[in-house]
Structure formats: C-alpha cells, structure tokens
Amino acid sequence: MSNLARRTLTGIVLVVLVVASIVIDQRLFSLLFLGFTIIGLWEFYSLVERARVFPNKVAGMLAGAVLFSTNALIAMNLLESKWLLLNFVFVFMIFLFELYRNNPNPFTNIAFTFFGLLYVAVPFSLLNYFPNPALESGVYHSGLLLGFFFLVWINETGAYVIGTALGRHRLFERISPKKTWEGVIGGGGLAFVSALVIGWYFGQLSLPEWLVITSMVVVFGSYGDLFESMFKRSINAKDSGTILPGHGGVLDRFDGVFMAAPFVFVYLLLNS
C-alpha cells in the first residue's frame, strides 16, 4: 500500500472515530481523547529523550491523565470546579519524583515534564468545554466541537493538497521546507468557504463568529504545524510516532489542534 493510500485510510478512520465520539456521547469523546492525551505525552517525552533530556514519563502521563479527566468531568457537570485543585497535587508530585531519579540535569527534566503537560494535556483538556463553555446544566452543543474539527481538517488537508500541487514559495524554509504560501492560502480559503456551510448548519454561533474561529484555526493551526516542525528538527526526528500510519503519531496529527484550541476556547468562553 502506498503512503498516500495509508495516509488517506488512516485519516478516514480517525475522522470517523472523532466524529462518532462527539455525536454519540460526550463521555465517549472524553475517553478517546484521554487515550490521545496519554499517547501524545508518551510521544513527546520519548522525542525529548533523543536530546538527552529525561522527563519523568510516568509522573507526567499520570498528571496529564488527571488534568484531562478532571476537566472532562467538570465540563460534563459531573464534578464541581473545586476538583481542579487536585491537579496541584499531581503537578507538585513531579518535583518529588525527580528527587528519587538518578538522572543528570534534574531541573531540565522537570521543565520538559511540565512542558509536555502544557503542550499536549492542556489543549486536549480544553476541548471538553467547547460544547458547553458556560457550563450550563444539560447543555451539549456538539456542533461547536464538530465545527472546530472540520475547520482544522479542511484547512490542513487543503494546505497539504494545494501545497503539494501548486506550492512554489516557501512559507518558513528554515523550519519547514515543504510548507508553502500557496498551501496556507489554499487551505485557508477552503476553510473560510467551509465556514459558510458550517455557520449555516451548526446554528449555535452566527456566521461572523464562525469566521472569527476560522481565522484562529487558519493562523494558529499553521503556527502549530511550524512549531512541531521546529521541535522535531531540533532533535532530528521525522515523525513523533508510528501509531497513525501515513501520518506519524498523535503529535503529528493534532499539531494544529494544540495551538488553535486554547485561542478558540478563550473566544468561546468570552462569547458565551
């Protein structure tokens, strides 16, 4: 099977899983992305080890799982927001765990353990609030989460296809030699056209509001791609993992989500 065929098949399966989990039940979505959070943290910490930095994988993944789970349960109104304080316990346990590890540069290890949480666990945790940013009882607007993912996928797919076919002018050659202005403009254009349909079909937000979210997805999603490229180039890695054939790992597939999600979350929260 060619790489394009593997990439296409994996992409279809991933889209079906994410869409189905959002539509069927928010708990199913949270379970799926709890798994992605743990896998993403494992990939991040494993990549960092190539640079001879040794983050605490177990402590980081445990803290990330608790961070995601508490936010998911609060977003579903199954826990009170005071339970977020539990995360302080697990975060500070990272300092204690490092005391008993015989690795060089302990504070560098701690810093990268925390950075994995900030880069992977925090954005994934915020996705739980998209369907109900105001935490209203009994509210679940699946369209807000679906619309966000559709915009991310359309932007990324359009950028890849159009950039491969027509790309000539490099966007940021020092960081990502294959990423072009043609791809960014093409993917962004498709995303804005799609926003017209999404704004009409998912009525929770007005069309101007969807266009604002689309702008955030296009701009910060592209920066997310560049940031992950910079990270991988700094440690001479091609992909973050192999769990998604044709796409690499969770970090490769969700790089745009990591950077765009916090900005979209803040906008939804302030607009709710």
Residue 109: pLDDT band with limits 50, 70, 90 = very high
pLDDT digits (tens, 9 = 90+) for 37-46: 999 999 999 9
Cα–Cα distance between 96 and 93 in angstroms, integer?
A: 5
Domain boundaries, the chain: 3-271
How high is the pLDDT of residue 23? 95
- 227-262 pLDDT tens trace: 988 888 888 776 676 676 656 789 989 999 999 999
176-180 and 170-172 as β-strands: parallel, antiparallel, unpaired? antiparallel
User: What pTM was estimated for this model as a whole?
Assistant: 0.93
pLDDT at 49: 92
Residue 24 pLDDT greater than 90, yes or no = yes
Rounded CA-CA distance 5/23 in Å is 27
